[in-house]
Amino acid sequence: MHIRSAEFIQSATRPGNYPPEQGPEIAFAGRSNVGKSSLINNLVGRRKLVRTSRTPGRTQLLNFFRINDQFCMVDLPGYGFAKVPPEVKKAWGPMVHTYLAQRASLRGVVWLLDCRRVPNDEDLQLLDWLEELQIPTIPVITKIDKVKRSQRLKQLKPILATTGLPADAFSSFSALSGEGREDVWERIVEALGLDGEVGE
């Protein structure tokens, strides 16, 4: 995918302040600190389009980005960070569920899981919503650079067991090495329905 432009549009918490729907949209979801913002930056090749942080739970809003004047990427707030105030935690579910249920231009969700963690109730809750709402889901195992190649299959087992998804449903990705970037792009382009419209 050739990126000609990538710009931040706005942040929002509820439908009243989402930007107008302009072209197809893809959202990025997963627990806090899993690497959502890093994945977006890596995909669009802008190191600082989205703020990333060592402190989990920094992104507590829906952040909308417009790419190539053609489609949108939405960085969803991360869940599951213990130190977030209770009122912020309570707001997360309705904020994300409302977006998933109401955004007509949403074509798919990239769902990130850390390769070293067993998916927990919040991860599985999100997967349930995506299935219920029939939103095409692109499961991505992140931070794959943290696991030796020989250990990867073993590392994947608890993730397959808890999610019930087959191994080939997952793409592996590393924001450090860029491994998996092309694979994730291909799946996003397909979800957005842009096949044939974009050149490398």
Site residues, ligand GTP (CB under 6 A): 30, 32-38, 52-54, 56-59, 78, 142-143, 145-146, 174-176
Residue 38 vs 163, nearer CB to ligand GTP: 38
Helix (H) or strand (E) holding 86: helix 86-102
Quote the least distance from Cβ 50 to Mg ion, whole Å.
Answer: 6
Give backbone dihedrals phi and psi of 58, rounded to 5 degrees, phi first: -80, -30
Residues 6 or more apart in contact with residue 186 via CB below 8 angstroms: none
Residue 145 vs 186, nearer CB to ligand GTP: 145
The answer to whether 127 and 84 are in contact (CB under 8 A) is no
Quote the least distance from Cβ 197 to Mg ion, whole Å.
Answer: 28
Quote the least distance from Cβ 22 to Mg ion, whole Å.
Answer: 23
Tokens of 49: 């389009």
The answer to whether 50 and 40 are in contact (CB under 8 A) is yes
Site residues (CB under 5 A) for Mg ion?
Answer: 36-37, 59
Tokens of 81: 């960070």
Give which of Mg ion, ligand GTP, none residue 72 binds (C-beta under 5 to 8 Å, depending on kind).
none
Give which of Mg ion, ligand GTP, none residue 136 binds (C-beta under 5 to 8 Å, depending on kind).
none
